[in-house]
Amino acid sequence: MILKTTPEPEATGLTAELYDDDLGSLGYVTPQTKAMAINPEVSQAFDALLGAIRAPMDLRRYELVTLAAAQGIGSTHCLLAHGAKALAVFTEDEVAAVARDYRNAGLTGAEVAMMEYAEKLSRDATAMTDADTLTLREHGFTDREIVDITVAAAARNYLSRAVLALAVDVDVPRVLSPKLQEALLSPLASRRTL
């Protein structure tokens, strides 16, 4: 990344708050946080938006939608970050299975449909039709849940695409084993060979 970020000892105000959040939760400040803190007001507003999006969703659903969106986008950053966050609700083996092939990872039919929806939205939102929404409804999702799934995937698109466009260095969360890292990134490797 060619942008100049604020060194940690020089961070003040809202930038320091954003850095402190990472330090408190991760023990270090991620390259993504440093890049997005160049405009700390937008970063703070996006964090508030994410909080509003996550609030009505259970963590399992939110992380599945996020992983599917990250796969659809092709975001190494978000696959690794949310692979680590998914460990709060899944075992390492379960996260690896979902990453490699969520359609055959022991998820419910509704969860698979939700992930297919989030992945399609992230690959080409212009290809979405009423049939995609109807599929979610047929799996028992309410209109509110469909909107929540949609905005969770769309929010992942915003951040992932911004980080990719800025060529932010990829952070590998310390809790990820090499085996899980490989599983999370395997869908991207297969996309590159197509």
Count other C-beta atoms under 10 Å from residue 78's C-beta. 24
% of the chain at pLDDT higher than 70: 97
The mean per-residue pLDDT over the stretch 83-104 comes to: 94
The mean per-residue pLDDT over the stretch 94-104 comes to: 94
Q: Which of 83-87, 101-105, 188-192 has the lowest mean pLDDT?
A: 188-192
Residue 3 is classified by DSSP as S
The mean per-residue pLDDT over the stretch 90-110 comes to: 95
Q: What is the pTM of this model?
A: 0.88
Does residue 194 carry a pLDDT above 50? no
Does residue 131 carry a pLDDT above 70? yes
Does residue 193 carry a pLDDT above 80? no
CATH topology of domain 58-186: AhpD-like (1.20.1290)
| C-alpha dist (Å) from residue 16 to 49, 63, 163, 175 | 20, 27, 20, 24
The mean per-residue pLDDT over the stretch 171-187 comes to: 88
Q: What is the pLDDT of residue 190?
A: 65
Q: What is the pLDDT of residue 16?
A: 94
The mean per-residue pLDDT over the stretch 154-174 comes to: 91
Does residue 3 carry a pLDDT above 60? yes
% of the chain at pLDDT higher than 90: 76
Q: If you average pLDDT over every residue of the chain, what do you get?
A: 92
Q: Is the dihedral of CA 149, 163, 119, 62 positive or negative?
A: negative
Exposed, middle or buried, 178 (CB in 10 Å: 0-12/13-18/19+)?
A: exposed
